[in-house]
Structure formats: C-alpha cells, structure tokens
Amino acid sequence: EPEVTQTPSHQVTQMGQEVILRCVPISNHLYFYWYRQILGQKVEFLVSFYNNEISEKSEIFDDQFSVERPDGSNFTLKIRSTKLEDSAMYFCASSGLGPLHFGNGTRLTVT
C-alpha cells in the first residue's frame, strides 16, 4: 500500500536555526498537509496545500513557517528561525478525495 514518508525521523536544532522537514506524499494525491502535535497536547492543523498554493492555514502557521513542493514529489515545511515552543512531532499528510493519509512524523527538538 502506498505510504507517506517523512525525513528525518528526528531533528535536533538550536533555537534560531532554520529547519526543513521533508515529506514525500502518496503519488496520486492532490492535497498535502502539515499537522503538529506538541507533547501531551492535541494534534493541530498547520496548513493545507493544493495546486501549488496554500489553500488554508491556521493561526499557528505564521511568517516563520513556509511550505513548498519544489519538484513535484517532495513537500517541505520550513521553519525559518526555530523557537523552543516549536518542539513537537510534525506530521505530513496527503489525500485525494478520501481521508488523510499520514506519515510517521518528524520529531523536532529545539534546544
């Protein structure tokens, strides 16, 4: 069965550094998403992406975040200047007309 794959599985970075989280969505899916889950808290919607542009974003997705689909297969989330509170599991997901399929997540630790 096709899968959403995310790399790396764990990323450690220093506060203020830029990070790029990578995702390869399922190939025939058209919608792409990022969600995050801070330890002990809810899974939270960050952004959805369709037809090469952001279709919806949450209040969390401020100017320090950006997404890109640079080459038709990868879907990336960039955090420009990481803060301690950005430490979380970041889940990429993709979908066609059906439910979302999630990757296994990248655990981001900001020190």
Partner 1 sequence: DQQVKQNSPSLSVQEGRISILNCDYTNSMFDYFLWYKKYPAEGPTFLISISSIKDKNEDGRFTVFLNKSAKHLSLHIVPSQPGDSAVYFCAASVDGNNRKLIWGLGTSLAVNP
At position 92, the amino acid (one-letter code) is C
Distance CA 110, CA 81 (A): 10
Residue 45 binds partner 1, judged by CB under 8 A: yes
100 binds partner 1 (CB under 8 A): yes
How many residues bind partner 1, per CB under 8 A? 25
Which phi and psi (to 5°) does residue 11 adopt? -130, 125
Quote the CA–CA distance of 2 and 48 in Å, as a whole number.
Answer: 20
CB 44 within 8 A of CB 63: no
Distance CA 65, CA 54 (A): 12
Which one, 15 or 43, has the nearer CB to partner 1?
43
Residue 86 dihedral angles phi and psi, to the nearest 5°: -80, -10
Binding segment for partner 1 among 14-22, 60-68, 69-77, 97-105 (CB under 8 A)?
Answer: 97-105
Which of 67, 95, 108, 110 is the binder for partner 1 (CB under 8 A)?
95
Verify binding: residue 60, partner 1, rule CB under 8 A.
Answer: no
What minimum distance in Å lies between the beta carbon of 1 and partner 1? 11
Under the rule (CB under 8 A), what is the footprint of partner 1? 4, 6, 31, 33, 35, 41-45, 48, 55-56, 58, 91, 93, 95, 98-105
